[in-house]
Amino acid sequence: MPSTIVEARGLTKRFGSIEAVRGVDLSIGAGELFGLIGHNGAGKSTLFKMLLGLLAPSEGSIQLEGQPIAGPGFREIRRRIGYLPENVVLYDNLTGLETLAFFADLKGVARHACAPLLERVGLAQAGGRRVREYSKGMRQRLGFAQALLGQPRLLFLDEPTTGLDPGAIRDFYQILRELTAQGVTMVLTSHILAEIQERVDRLAIMEQGRIRATGTVAELRNGMNLPLTLEIAGGAGLRGRVESLLADLGPESITETAGLLRVRLPRSAKLAALGRLATLGDALGDLHVREPSLEDVFFGYRS
């Protein structure tokens, strides 16, 4: 287990009589890419704001790199943090480079670090243009460049890929991977579960202010024990043979659409099922094993 960078204990936030976050414990290690998922109103944003020091917890404590965020050393801690807010609108009247220079000044970072950062996020050509002329994706990249100022050791990214096209999303995660390789820790939220399931190291599912589960995607899947799906293609009469082969393995359902057979099976029966289907020989046209997606896991924890 790597050394802990983000440590939250018993975090609770109340707004009047509403408990937005209830008793959250969280440990995130150095160099981890940690995802925080949950539907709107689950408490993600409130938790995020408490971790960033924007909201004081009603109860509980937060330590970043072993220090309290609001303590006397807060300037030093904040210099090591990068933050990309959701849907941030930076200053329209400034150019991209001027925007970065302003934030660099406030962070105590030398201005000559700005141009290489713009290049890193793919805005090298647009640095001299006013932000008002930027597309949504370009603004998001500029916000990301801002978060990377001063080589932060900890990055908080709130819905970071909003407005990015698929190519830019791939580039974005490429940069995140380079950063984790350098030991940078990242906490990101996303509502696009398919996008983050292959990319985060660990994640937490939030629901009604609580963390319902924490772990790798595989751990969460196993924890839920969700059935997997076999997709089988083959010639006529396949369905009957498959049903008889798999009957004692406890299939939950067998459906057929457009010549494709879908069998939902308990995960424990995976290898046995594959062994039996192999006996079909040439009658078996094609076979896919579909693991439950993060979305299935997410809805599994919600229900």
Partner 1 sequence: MPAPDLKLDFTQIRILAGKEFWDRLRNRWVLAVALVFTVLALVIAYFGAAQQGSVGFQSIGLTIASLVSLVIYLIPLIALILGFDAVVGERERGSLELLLTLPLTRAELILGKYAGLAAALGFSTLAGFGAVGVILSPHLNLNGLFHYVGFMASTLLLGLAFLSIAVMLSVFAADRTRASGLAIGAWFFYVLVFDLLLLGALVLSGGQYGGDLFPYLLLLNPADVFRVLNVFSLDEVRSFYGLATVFPAALGHPALLGGVMLGWILAPLAIAIRTFQH
Residues that bind partner 1 (CB under 8 A): 49, 52-56, 69-72, 74-76, 78-79, 81, 83, 85-91, 93, 102-103, 105-108, 146, 156
Nearer to partner 1, 56 or 274 (CB): 56
Nearer to partner 1, 22 or 139 (CB): 139
As a dihedral over the C-alpha atoms of residue 56, residue 62, residue 63, residue 69, rounded to 10 degrees, the angle is -10
Nearer to partner 1, 26 or 149 (CB): 149
Taking the complex as a whole, the smallest distance from the CB of residue 255 to partner 1 amounts, in Å, to 46
Bridge partners (DSSP) listed for residue 234: 284
Nearer to partner 1, 79 or 264 (CB): 79
Taking the complex as a whole, the smallest distance from the CB of residue 167 to partner 1 amounts, in Å, to 25
Nearer to partner 1, 78 or 221 (CB): 78
Tokens of 103: 């934030």
Nearer to partner 1, 90 or 245 (CB): 90
Nearer to partner 1, 86 or 207 (CB): 86
- Find out whether 133 and 121 touch, Cβ atoms under 8 Å: no
Taking the complex as a whole, the smallest distance from the CB of residue 225 to partner 1 amounts, in Å, to 40
DSSP notation for 162-227: TT--HHHHHHHHHHHHHHHHTT-EEEEE-S-HHHHHTT-SEEEEEETTEEEEEE-HHHHHHHHT--
Tokens of 213: 């589960």
Nearer to partner 1, 54 or 194 (CB): 54
Taking the complex as a whole, the smallest distance from the CB of residue 20 to partner 1 amounts, in Å, to 15
What are the angstrom distances between the C-alpha of 147 and each of 88, 205, 301? 12, 25, 32
Which secondary-structure segment (H or E) carries 255?
strand 253-257
Tell the residue number behind the tokens 């057929």, with chain if given: 256
- Find out whether 286 and 187 touch, Cβ atoms under 8 Å: no
On the CB side of 133, CA atoms within 13 Å amount to 10
Tell the residue number behind the tokens 């009469």, with chain if given: 237
Taking the complex as a whole, the smallest distance from the CB of residue 232 to partner 1 amounts, in Å, to 50
Taking the complex as a whole, the smallest distance from the CB of residue 73 to partner 1 amounts, in Å, to 9
Taking the complex as a whole, the smallest distance from the CB of residue 230 to partner 1 amounts, in Å, to 46
On the CB side of 251, CA atoms within 13 Å amount to 18
Taking the complex as a whole, the smallest distance from the CB of residue 88 to partner 1 amounts, in Å, to 5
Instruction: Compute the radius of gyration of the chain from its Cα atoms.
Output: 24
